[in-house]
Amino acid sequence: MENRELSRGTVGTIVLKLLSERTMYGYEIIKEVEQRTGGEFIWKEGTLYPALHKLEQGGLIASSWELASGKPRKYYSLTRSGAKALAAETGELRKFVSALNSIMMLEDCHEPA
């Protein structure tokens, strides 16, 4: 993404969303985000790890170290509070995009099948 300000405020919500689908570790999240967005969102370690720590401190996610192919990985999972936060933030995001469209008229809609 060229405009580095746009992604602000979305990192935490995206992490919660991914963890609501399955347990994941940090590096895996970075790669998953990059893949799903077709390389549009490329997060740096300095972006994700502090965000994960903050989410854990807030009790929205929980972590546990596990061994995979000899390397220790810190797996994160969504807590009940995290699920609530995800719902709330998804609503905020939806309102934001809707408001943005009311002026910019981006019309990010798919063709009917």
Residue ranges binding DNA (CB under 7 A): 4-5, 7-12, 25-28, 31, 42-47, 49-54, 68-74
| The one-letter amino acid at 88 | A
| Residue 3 touching its own copies (CB under 8 A) | yes
> Considering only residues 44, 68, 71, 106, which one is a binding residue for its own copies as defined by CB under 8 A?
106
Cα–Cα distance measured from residue 97 to residue 43, given in angstroms and rounded to the nearest whole number = 21
- The interface partner of residue 101, options being its own copies, DNA, none and the CB cut-off 5 to 8 Å by kind, is its own copies
The alpha carbon of 23 is separated from its chain's Cα centroid by a whole number of angstroms, namely: 13
Tokens of 97: 């995009």
Cα–Cα distance measured from residue 72 to residue 23, given in angstroms and rounded to the nearest whole number = 15
Give the binding site for its own copies (CB under 8 A).
1-10, 13-14, 17-18, 33, 36-38, 40-41, 89-90, 92-104, 106, 108-110, 112
